[in-house]
């Protein structure tokens, strides 16, 4: 059984081809990093996993659900099992940190929620637990937009945990962060993935970080898979050439 | 290498204009010419004003000393007016939220739904509330309901549009995060969209309360209860001391409400940054800080005011249902519309009033607005801003009454009253547009040694021009509707015909007036749209 299966996935936006015949699998519990330049199709591919984008051709099968067919309730049920961490955090800035974490539970709750007190106490307690885990329980009642970038991303991780996910997707989770916060967030995601046996599919653009972090590397270039190997077998220079083109080698000396 | 001493005969130093810009320029020139002609045709000039001076003195003699009604009566009337305003605005907000979700590109279920919703909003905007009120008034009789419905439906035109714009401007990120978590459509709207648009929603609603308070008084003239109704009665019985006293109360009420809504807006939208709320272990809900208590208080207060207004306006579900069936009976009577003789010339008068008032307004608003912009007149700006706010504060109705009395019944009074209120609105828009220009360009020019006036003409004005032009067309729209309103207090034009028709229950004439005003507003909007495409 595989957690995520891409079969000849093709996606274009107008005349721009974002994904061109992409195929590979991600096994349960595996940590896979998508490497590539911006515009190489990483984010687009990630968004296919939980149906935020639909493929023009080919199949995406996530947790035995065919994304071409899933819609409505079935799609939402699938999304509940998949946590998503975005580059720009995507917290609701005017809501409190705790409420933002609670929104991870919306998929399981009936009806809309307006205000922290409308979430059941049990949910709030669980959310506090996740905030504790990411080290931000003290700031639970602050407005989310008063936090630093690194803190906001940790809140986003807690929100993903609130879904009790089986898969964690992360789209350039540290691209907007300073080196220290980056390290914190990446360690946090790896530790949590280990503790909870999560399948992780994460896009990055730094080769070095990816090699030290992932089980496996998948390289994308202009929508094509140009590299798919165990992290241990990947040669740094070769990876850079494949993914970033010849210019990268010349530039890095 | 050749040395270029002067351009040869074939080297053009001016670029050939594009046809689109020529057409736009011609339309603008025609508009300007029409405006000047309207101004002249209405015979608004110093001589007319001097002639009227003795009227003013005469009037003052009859109006003063003012007689104020007893306090309890004033409070009752104020309460009635406010109840109508709040109910109307609340109704508009409820309808607008639904329509805006359907009309915003990013939340609409289907593009066709979007166009329908946008069209409904545009239609609501194009039919002046006073026309609606005149139509409803015969249906529901005297009382609050006609006014509330008219105001509520017409306000959707502005509130719905601004709400939809606010929804289209949100950051899609939080929303897609909520969706990625498996939330449903409604949950997505409440959690991902609503918190982001809340400030804009609140600000727009409060702004609309200000506007509706002003129109509610005018609606009194077609039979909607409250302060306006009493003013209308007093003036008709030539009881000027009471009429003017009540108008003065309206002025004070407008200022109080404007100050209050400003304070609420600031408190709700720009909360003072308080010390971060640290959470102590074991605590599972936020502590009741002063800021939180205050916010909850405002929310409860708003709910209480709306409930009290609905109760105070004596509206019952049965009454609303009865009104709706009556409306179903009346609407067929307004179709086919009957374009009685005189209607078109009345429409033409109304357009002339709007045009002339634009000329007065803009000629005075441009310098005033420039002086109120911080980057144009750094030292004087503050004082001119205050002046503009003061002019804006005076309701058109009060201006209308004063000018009708001074210059006599007729279009001149309407044009002067509207012109003065236009100065307030346009002045602010001009000042804002000027302040929003790119300061670096000004600085670059200043660095070349250009004088202050040169900088203004070369750097500031061209950058602000597109915004000013589009505001001008918007303002003409507004003035056209307002001049319809002012016809009702005796400024002539189609408003006067409307008043007559509503008194004798000629629904087919009212229907014709609806068609005419709607058509005019649509033509102006299309013109404005075309011009905006070119002047960018």
Domains, chain B, with CATH or none: 32-63+335-536 (1.10.3720.10), 65-270+294-332 (1.10.3720.10)
For residue range A41-80, what is the model confidence (pLDDT) as tens digits?
Answer: 899 999 999 888 999 999 999 999 998 888 888 888 899 9
Q: What average pLDDT does this structure show over B4-31?
A: 71
Q: Which residues have C-beta within 8 Å of that of residue B276, sequence separation ≥ 6?
A: A139, A142, A146
At residue A251 the predicted structure's pLDDT band, cuts being 50, 70 and 90, is very low
Q: Report whether pLDDT(A249) > 50.
A: no
A96 and chain B in contact, CB less than 8 A = yes
**pLDDT value for B356:** 85
Under an 8 A CB cutoff, do A52 and B173 touch? Answer: no
Interface test with A, best of B97, B107, B172, B174 (most A CBs within 10 A): B174
| A 177-236 residues inside an 8 A Cβ radius of B | none
SS3 A5: strand
* Inter-residue contact B349 to B493 (CB < 8 Å): yes
- Residues from chain B that touch A116, judged by Cβ atoms under 8 A, are 285-286
What digits encode the pLDDT tens for the residues A231-248?
A: 888 888 888 888 887 655
| Statement: residue B401 has pLDDT above 70 | yes
CB contact set of A119 (below 8 Å; sequence gap of 6+): A99, A102, A105, A109, A113, A127
A76: chain B residues, CB-CB within 8 Å: 182-184
**Residue A250 banded pLDDT, cuts 50, 70, 90:** very low
Distances (CA, A) of B324 to A10, B59, B328, B500, B505: 55, 44, 6, 24, 18
Any B CB within 8 A of A115 CB: no
Facing residue for A125 by CB, picked from B187, B273, B284: B284
Considering only the beta carbons, identify the residue of B171, B177, B279 that sits closest to A137: B279
Residue B1 has a pLDDT of 47
**Token pair recorded at residue B281:** 């272990």
Residue B492 preceded by cis peptide, ω within 30: no
Residue pLDDT, tens place only, B144-183 = 888 888 899 999 998 998 899 889 889 999 999 998 888 8
pLDDT attached to residue B498: 81
User: Between A and B, how many CB-CB pairs are < 8 A?
Assistant: 111
Tell me the pLDDT band of A170, cut-offs 50, 70 and 90.
Answer: very high
Does the beta carbon of A164 lie under 8 angstroms from any beta carbon of chain B? Answer: no
Tokens at B435, concatenated:
């302040």
Residue B7 has pLDDT above 60, yes or no: no
Mean pLDDT of B461-472: 80
Chain A residues lying within 8 Å of B192, measured CB to CB: 92
- Residue B89, pLDDT > 90, answer yes
pLDDT at B95: 94
Distance CA A175, CA A88 (A): 9
Question: What residues does A12 pair with on adjacent strands?
Answer: A17
What pLDDT is recorded for position B281? 67
pTM (two decimals): 0.80
- Asked if residue A138 has pLDDT above 60, the reply is yes
Question: What's the confidence (pLDDT) of residue B431?
Answer: 85
pLDDT tier for residue A156 given thresholds of 50, 70 and 90: very high
- Pick B125 or B272 by higher pLDDT: B125
How many CA atoms are closer than 13 Å to the CA of B39, on its beta-carbon side?
20
* 3-state SS assignment for residue A57: strand
pLDDT 10s digits, B255-280: 888 778 777 777 666 655 555 566 77
Contact B428, B369 (CB under 8 A): yes
- The pLDDT of residue B347 is 85
Paired tokens of A14:
């107008």
Listed range (B80-84, B135-139, B294-298) with the worst mean pLDDT:
B135-139
Residues from chain A contacting residue B287 (CB–CB below 8 Å): 141
Identify any residues that bridge with A27 across adjacent strands, giving them in sequence order. Answer: none
Residue of chain A minimizing CA distance to B174 = A90
Digit-coded pLDDT (tens) for A56-65: 999 999 999 9
Note whether B240 and B66 are within 8 A (CB).
no
Interval B210-228 mean pLDDT: 82
What pLDDT sits at residue B175? 92
Backbone phi and psi for residue A16, each to the nearest 5 degrees, phi listed first: -80, 125
User: Which tens digit of pLDDT belongs to each residue from B441-459?
Assistant: 888 877 877 777 888 888 8
Q: Give me the residue from A79, A121, A142 closest to B182, CB to CB.
A: A79
Partners of residue A31 on adjacent β-strands: A200
Q: What per-residue confidence (pLDDT) applies to A253? A: 38
The residues, ordered by sequence, that sit 6+ positions from A91 with a Cβ below 8 Å of its Cβ are A97, A100, A144, A145, A152, A155, A156, A159, B174, B177
By Cβ distance, the residue of B181, B191, B198 closest to A113 is B191
Mean pLDDT of A131-150: 89
Could you tell me the two tokens for A111? 């009806």
Residue A252's pLDDT band, with cuts at 50, 70 and 90, is: very low
pLDDT tens, residue by residue, B342-378 = 788 888 888 888 888 888 888 888 888 888 888 787 7
Q: What is the pLDDT of residue A217?
A: 92
Q: Are A51 and A2 in contact (CB under 8 A)?
A: no
Q: Do A112 and B180 touch (CB under 8 A)?
A: no
Q: Which residue in B248, B239, B171 sits closest to B217, CA to CA?
A: B248
The residue-averaged pLDDT of A189-203 equals 92
User: What's the whole-number average pLDDT of chain B?
Assistant: 80
Tell me the chain A residues in contact with residue B178 when contact means C-beta distances shorter than 8 Å: 92, 103, 106
**What is the bridge-based pairing of β-strands A57-62 and A65-66?**
antiparallel
In angstroms, rounded to a whole number, what is the distance separating the alpha carbons of residues A209 and A35? 10
The top-scoring range by mean pLDDT among A40-49, B28-37, B142-151, B422-431 is A40-49
Contact B96, B228 (CB under 8 A): no
User: Which candidate from B177, B192, B277 shows the least CB-CB separation from A84?
Assistant: B177
C-alpha dihedral sign at B338, B344, B346, B351? positive
Q: Which of A21-35, B118-132, B292-306 has the highest mean pLDDT?
A: A21-35
What DSSP string describes B256-311? HHHHHHHHHHHHHHS---PPP----TT--S----HHHHHHHHHHHHHHHHHHHHHH
Chain B partners within 8 Å of A91 (Cβ): 174, 177
Residue A104 DSSP class: G
């Amino acid at each position: 059984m595989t957690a995520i299966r891409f079969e000849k996935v093709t996606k274009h936006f107008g005349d721009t081809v974002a994904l061109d015949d992409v195929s590979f699998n991600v096994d349960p519990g595996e940590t896979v990093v998508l490497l590539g330049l911006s515009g190489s199709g990483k984010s687009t591919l990630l968004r296919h996993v939980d149906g935020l984008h639909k493929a023009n051709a080919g199949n995406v099968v996530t947790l035995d659900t065919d994304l071409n067919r899933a819609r409505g309730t079935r799609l939402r049920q699938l999304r509940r099992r998949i946590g998503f961490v975005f580059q720009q955090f995507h917290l609701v800035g005017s809501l409190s940190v705790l409420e933002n974490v609670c929104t991870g539970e919306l998929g399981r709750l009936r009806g809309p929620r307006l205000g922290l007190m409308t979430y059941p106490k049990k949910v709030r307690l669980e959310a506090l637990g996740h905030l504790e885990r990411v080290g931000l329980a003290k700031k639970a009642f602050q407005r989310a937009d008063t936090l630093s970038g690194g803190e906001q991303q940790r809140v986003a991780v807690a929100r993903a945990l609130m879904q009790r996910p089986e898969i964690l997707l992360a789209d350039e989770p540290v691209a907007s962060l300073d080196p220290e916060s980056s390290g914190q967030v990446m360690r946090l995601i790896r530790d949590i993935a280990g503790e909870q046996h999560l399948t992780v599919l994460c896009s990055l653009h730094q080769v070095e970080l990816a090699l030290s972090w992932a089980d496996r590397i998948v390289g994308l270039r202009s929508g094509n898979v140009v590299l798919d190997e165990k992290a241990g077998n990947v040669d740094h220079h070769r990876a850079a050439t494949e993914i970033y083109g010849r210019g990268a080698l010349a530039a890095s000396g | 290498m050749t040395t270029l001493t002067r351009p040869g005969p074939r080297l053009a130093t001016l670029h050939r204009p594009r046809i689109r810009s020529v057409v736009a320029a011609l339309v603008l020139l025609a508009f300007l010419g029409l405006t000047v002609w309207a101004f002249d045709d209405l015979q608004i000039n110093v001589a007319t004003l001097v002639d009227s001076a003795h009227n003013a003195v005469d009037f003052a003699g009859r109006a003063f000393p003012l007689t104020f009604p007893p306090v309890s009566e004033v409070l009752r009337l104020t309460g009635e007016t406010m109840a109508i305003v709040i109910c109307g605005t609340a109704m508009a907000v409820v309808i607008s939220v639904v329509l805006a979700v359907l009309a915003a590109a990013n939340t609409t279920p289907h593009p066709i739904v979007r166009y329908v919703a946008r069209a409904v909003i545009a239609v609501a905007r194009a039919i002046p509330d006073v026309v609606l009120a005149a139509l409803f008034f015969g249906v529901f009789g005297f009382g609050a309901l006609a006014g509330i419905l008219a105001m509520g439906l017409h306000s959707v035109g502005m509130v719905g549009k601004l709400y939809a714009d606010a929804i289209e401007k949100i950051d899609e990120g939080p929303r897609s995060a909520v969706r990625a978590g498996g939330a449903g459509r409604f949950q997505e709207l409440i959690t991902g969209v609503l918190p982001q648009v809340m400030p804009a929603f609140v600000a727009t609603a409060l702004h609309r309360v200000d506007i509706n308070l002003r129109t509610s008084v005018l609606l009194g003239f077609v039979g909607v209860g409250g302060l306006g109704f009493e003013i209308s009665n007093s003036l008709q019985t030539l009881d000027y001391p009471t009429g003017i006293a009540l108008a003065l109360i309206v002025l004070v009420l407008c200022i109080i409400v404007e100050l209050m809504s400003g304070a609420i807006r600031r408190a709700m939208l720009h909360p003072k940054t308080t010390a971060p709320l640290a959470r102590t272990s074991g605590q599972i809900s936020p502590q009741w800080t002063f800021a939180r208590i205050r916010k909850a208080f405002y929310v409860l207060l708003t709910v209480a005011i709306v409930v009290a207004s609905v109760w105070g306006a004596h509206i019952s579900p049965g009454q609303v249902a009865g009104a709706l069936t009556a409306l179903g009976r009346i609407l067929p009577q307004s179709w086919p519309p009957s374009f009685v003789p005189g209607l078109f010339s009345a429409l033409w008068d109304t357009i002339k009033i709007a045009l002339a008032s634009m000329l007065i307004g803009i000629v005075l608003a441009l310098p005033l607005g420039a002086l109120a912009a911080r980057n144009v007149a750094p030292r004087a700006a503050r004082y001119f801003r205050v002046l503009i706010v003061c002019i804006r504060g005076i309701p058109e109705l009060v201006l209308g009454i004063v000018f009708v009395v001074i210059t006599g019944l007729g279009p001149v009074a309407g044009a002067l009253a509207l012109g003065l209120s236009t100065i307030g609105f346009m002045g602010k828009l001009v000042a804002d547009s000027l302040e929003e220009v790119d300061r670096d360009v000004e600085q670059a020019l200043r660095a070349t040694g250009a004088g202050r006036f040169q900088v203004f003409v070369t750097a500031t004005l061209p950058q602000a021009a597109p915004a000013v032009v589009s505001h001008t067309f918007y303002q003409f729209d507004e003035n056209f509707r307002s001049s319809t309103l002012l016809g009702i207090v005796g400024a002539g034009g189609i408003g006067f015909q409307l008043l007559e028709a509503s008194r004798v229950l000629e629904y087919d004439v009212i229907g014709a007036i609806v068609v005419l005003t709607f058509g005019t507003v649509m033509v102006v909007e299309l013109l404005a749209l075309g011009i905006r495409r070119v002047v960018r």
